[in-house]
Chains A and B, each alone.
Chain A
Amino acid sequence: MAGTLSIRVITPERILLDSTCASVSFPTVDGSVGILSGHAPMVAAIGVGELAFKTENGAEESVFIAGGFAEVRDNTVRIVTDTSEPASEIDVERAVEAAQRARKRLEQYESNDGEKLDVLRARTALARALMRERIAKKRR
């Protein structure tokens, strides 16, 4: 595998991640992309999902992200996001609860023609919760 990339994940509270890796993949709003060293410069809007990266010795790690932006430049992947948690920090119980809550809400809204915004909100909440749960379980 040629070369390495540096990766930085920056949230308003802290710099979540600052390390080097062999490859990175993250979800954009239009689907997942993978980045290797030497990638062309890119700016992307991030969707909800898993930011996965392979360290130089082959170990895989993943981080939950929702929203934000990624910038690829000079072999550096910089991710600025509001919501991000490494797999080890995800509160699985909370995620499961949140998923249930979102499902219930979704049923309720859809059955009695709730407002579009509410439906949308419940849906994104559900997507976030499920993704958190999946990432957390995968890495344990």
Chain B
Amino acid sequence: MAGIKELRVRIKSVGNIKQITRAMEMVASTKLRRFQDRAIASRPYSMEIAGLVARLSSMLGDDVSDQPLFNAGKGTRTLVLFISSDRGLCGAYNTYLFKELEQWLAGRPNAAETDFFVYGRKGAQYLTARGYNVKRFITDPPMEEIDHRTAALTGRMLVDEFETGEYQDVHLVSTGFESMIKYNPRIEPFLPLTPESLGGGEDKAVSADTILEPDANTIFESLVPRYLETRIYSALLESLTSEYASRRFAMKNATDAATDMQKELKSIYNRKRQEKITMELLDIVGGAAAVK
């Protein structure tokens, strides 16, 4: 009976897939934990830096408009740093990002004048396929080996581009990690720095007689790059964490689905097998009766 043989093969292949998805789930879990720990550990630092920038800029008041990074660029183009994943099989992680991006671009007057810096192969593929201008696809170092130094290099690159005056603003598209089952794509303004993007006012303003050592400009000059790099770093970490959370979830679903399927196939297989035995028995009994 062909049906039975086919069923046996299918049960086996479903079992193989289940093994793979389960292994991937496990890998994603470990990586998820690692990135999550890092993301959480870096949070106080980035909050502190952001707070410092916000307090300093609110303290300087109108003087911040002298700082080049606080004013919109002269150009009309927009630069976007897009953080997606290198690999697939992570559920709707990338799809959500793309959807959010398309929506955002649709509402912008200069959508056609947008250049992209991309982390993650999936994003680069998507954007190139749709004819967007991918100015730089950052592959070195691989996303998973990011640290503060490489985030700083990316930040430097963005600032350099912004300072050419070609761009009016720079945005950051990434995925924010809220919990194991909640992660949302988000689009944030990156440059120019504005009191709103710095979240000024959440902290009580510092008194104007704060001593600055050595002086405001020097502090700002080294603080602002640090702040930008921290933002990129945490955006990367949160995106990676979300990616792995999403992948783990997708793989868990796949494993569960495989288990269900295996069960179903097995019961069909057993029924068929029994049917076959019963038929054979009937044949024998029938044959024996005929001989008598």
Residues of A within 8 A of B (CB): 10-15, 28-30, 33, 40-45, 67, 69, 71, 73, 78, 80, 82
Contact = CB atoms under 8 A, between A and B. Distances in A.
Interface string B192-227: 000000000000001101111110001100110010
Given A10-B45, A12-B233, A41-B209, A71 B52 contact: yes
B148 A12 contact: yes
A33 B230 CA distance: 27
A71 B211 CA distance: 10
Nearest to A40: B211
A103 B121 CA distance: 43
B141 interface: no
18 contacts: A12-B45, A12-B148, A12-B233, A29-B213, A29-B218, A30-B214, A40-B210, A41-B206, A42-B211, A44-B213, A45-B214, A69-B52, A69-B223, A71-B52, A78-B48, A80-B45, A80-B52, A82-B226
Contacts of A33: 213
B42 interface: yes
Contacts of B213: 28-30, 33, 42-45
Contact of A29 (B44, B48, B52, B214): B214
Contacts of A11: 45
Nearest to A13: B41
B56 interface: yes
A129 to B, nearest CB: 18
Given A12-B42, A69-B219, A80-B49, A44 B148 contact: no
Interface of B: 41-42, 44-46, 48-49, 52, 55-56, 148, 206-207, 209-214, 218-219, 222-223, 226, 230, 233
Contacts of B214: 28-30, 44-45
B211 A43 contact: yes
Given A15-B44, A30-B213, A69-B219, A41 B207 contact: yes
A43 B42 contact: no
Contact of A40 (B46, B209, B218): B209
A12 B52 CA distance: 15
Contacts of A40: 209-211
A109 B65 CA distance: 41
Given A13-B42, A80-B52, A82-B148, A45 B219 contact: yes
A71 B207 CA distance: 13
B52 to A, nearest CB: 6
A19 to B, nearest CB: 15
Contacts of A42: 210-213
Nearest to A15: B44
A42 B238 CA distance: 32
Shortest 9 CB-CB contacts between residues of A and residues of B: A44-B213, A42-B211, A41-B210, A80-B48, A12-B45, A12-B42, A28-B213, A10-B45, A30-B214
Contacts of B45: 10-12, 80
Contacts of A10: 44-45, 48
A57 to B, nearest CB: 27
